[in-house]
Structure 1
Amino acid sequence: MTKTKLIRRKKISNKLGDTIGGWLFISPMLLGFTIFMFGPLLYAFYISLHDWPLLGESFFTGFENYQNLVKDNSFKNSLIVTLLFSLGLVPLNITLAMFLAVLLKDKFWGIGFFRTAIFVPVVTSLIVWAIVWKYLLAPELGFINQFLGLFGIEGPSWLLNKSTALPAVIIVSVIKNVGLNMILFLTAMQQVPEELYEAAELDGASAFRKFRNVTFPLITPTIFLTMIITTIGAMKIFGQVYVMTRGGPGESTKVLVYYIWETAFKLFDMGYASALAFVLFFILLAFTILSWVVRKRWVFYEE
């Protein structure tokens, strides 16, 4: 056997060893994903093809559960409420987070306190947060209405009024999670080279023009990321609604995930609830793919 063949065989052996080693390293994660994520996902789709009561026998119905969605007014309402919630939360969250990041980007006395105060709600238990705000927004004894009363303003029944319940939940959710996006924007802004700001100042650019022409284009990848994360989180909203309004008053705050929970664990219709869950899954999948496709039209800089 020639020396060239020996070297070639050794390279193939090393490459094969590296491949096997790589698969062995990621096998625990793949195994865990298959058992706890991919497997249950396929089983949930299997359930969605059945009339599957929580207690009782199941019957195969094909795509009947999906066909029934077209005639389900509660599903249509929950989908609209979810979209309204997302349209209200995402722009408000992103705008407020960016505004706070701009304010807290430069160092000044007490900056650590302000950053911590804004980020604390992110690590606070969601259930505790929702319970506290439920009492703060109480009609008569709530702190907010009592505070408004000091100025002669009669506060509404925030969570008991159809016109104010959803906006109240949106604002509570924004305050809860705005700190996370603020930190992401802060990190991105701190990566912008100072030389660009210095050049803009030499050209006589105002603070607004520096943000628009220097900061904003360079942090668009982060903005894109936060928009996707925030939108997906908004579409999956459940905890605040469950604690604060239970989908009411009426169905004004009954978002899609709450309707899925209600169908599964109050009406005990697991098959139909699984079909609802897969509709939400495909909506989020379509949104993510669409966002990824169009990102190059407004993401100005990618590493």
Structure 2
Amino acid sequence: MTTAQKRMYSYLFLLPAGIVYFTLYLLPTVMSLFFSLTRWTLTKWEFIGLENYVMFFEESSLRIGFKNTLIYAVVTCGLKVVLALLLATLLTSKIWFKDYFRSMVFFPTLLSTIAVGIAFSTMMHPTQGVINTALAAIGIDGPDWLGNTKLALYSVALIDVWKGVGIATVIYIAGILSIPRHYYEALKIDGGSAFRGFWHITLPLSRPAMNSVIILAFIGGLRTFDLIWATTRGGPGFSTDLIASIIYKQYQAGFYGLATAGNVILFIGISALAFPLYMFLTRREVDL
């Protein structure tokens, strides 16, 4: 068999994956770019150039949506990074029923996001919800978690953290367990405390896992839609509208080309934020 034949034989193994990638990813991306320049329905289309992009940036709620999206991404990412690290440190220490607690932390990740949103909408009801009922039992007047314009976005962010902290914890656990044990043994021989072990060993050597959690949580926060729609549908007013929910509302209204342009803008925006963050984190990881 010649070298060219061997190379062709190798490429044949890549062909099925290439077909799947082209069909499910590359082709829809190219079609989205094209249809974002058109006014289209399910049966016809009309090329209008950049008009959809101009209209999208003129959307009255867009400024609020950009602000809410950044706040939501930063809050959920920050809380997941910190809480997951603390949980992973606890769940890799010598405690009873460690495996049981690990499964409990990971369990919310397995639940449907829509189901979680509906459940918490009921639990956070201002008068009949179990949360405010429990607070009233100890003399605290609970707020309207999802109906207060200043509180609703952060309430949904907390739900997101509750659901997503499990996968971040698993990533941290994998990172912590990969740290050689002799570092901790040396610290113990020198009389170091558990806090010093965490600060000088666990924290710096789990940096690769932390970087993964930051990237995944930040991108997830920027593209969140389902939890927002299941809890508040962007309300009250525009107080919890994110870019993704604004795009969906355009689809609902029948402005398919405008919504497609919004998706392209969302993709570019996420890439513009996530890629420099990834480069910064990986550069620091190499420097360490």
Same fold (TM over 0.5): yes
2:50 maps to 63
Q: What is the rounded CA distance, in whole Å, between the counterparts of 1:162 and 1:186 in structure 2?
A: 37
CA distance in 2, matches of 1:208, 1:106: 12
Aligned length: 288
Q: Secondary structure at the match of 2:151?
A: helix
Taking the aligned partners of 1:120 and 1:61, their CA distance within structure 2 comes to 48
Unaligned runs of 5+ in 1: 1-9
Note if 1:42 corresponds to 2:27.
no
Kindly state the Cα deviation for residue 23 of structure 1 after the two structures are TM-superposed.
1.3
**Aligned counterparts of 1:95 and 1:104: Cα–Cα separation in 2:** 14
Residue 60 of structure 2 corresponds to 73
Deviations 1:92-114 (A, max 9, x none): 01100000001111243211221
How far apart are 1:58 and its partner, in Å? 3.0
Query: Aligned letter for 2:36?
Result: S
1:120-139 correspondence runs (5 A) = 120-139=107-126
Per-residue CA distance 1:244-274 (angstroms, 9 max, x = gap): 101000001111111111101x211111111
Query: Cα distance, 1:236 vs. partner?
Result: 1.1
Q: Is the 8 A contact 1:77 1:251 kept in 2?
A: yes
1:299 maps to 2:285: yes
Tell me the TM-score normalized by structure 1. 0.90
TM-score by length of 2: 0.94
Higher Rg: 1
Q: Does 1:170 align with 2:181?
A: no
Q: Distance in 2 between matches of 1:57 and 1:90?
A: 41
Residue from 1, 4, 17 that aligns with 1:29: 17
In structure 2, C-alpha distance between the alignment counterparts of 1:17 and 1:216, rounded to whole Å: 50
The structural deviation recorded for 1:89 is 0.5
CA distance in 2, matches of 1:191, 1:172: 30
Q: Is the 8 A contact 1:92 1:174 kept in 2?
A: yes
- Paired position in structure 2 for 1:258: 245
**1:295 counterpart SS class:** helix
- Whether the 8 Å CA contact 2:211–2:282 is kept in 1: the answer is no
Superimposed CA distance per residue, residues 224-261 of structure 1 (whole angstroms, 9 cap, x where no aligned partner): 11111111111111111111101000001111111111
Could you tell me which runs of 5 or more consecutive residues in structure 2 were left unpaired when the two chains were aligned: none
Q: Give the Å deviation of 1:145.
A: 0.3
Shift of residue 191 of structure 1? 0.8
* Match in the other structure for 2:8: 20
Q: Distance in 1 between matches of 2:5 and 2:287?
A: 38
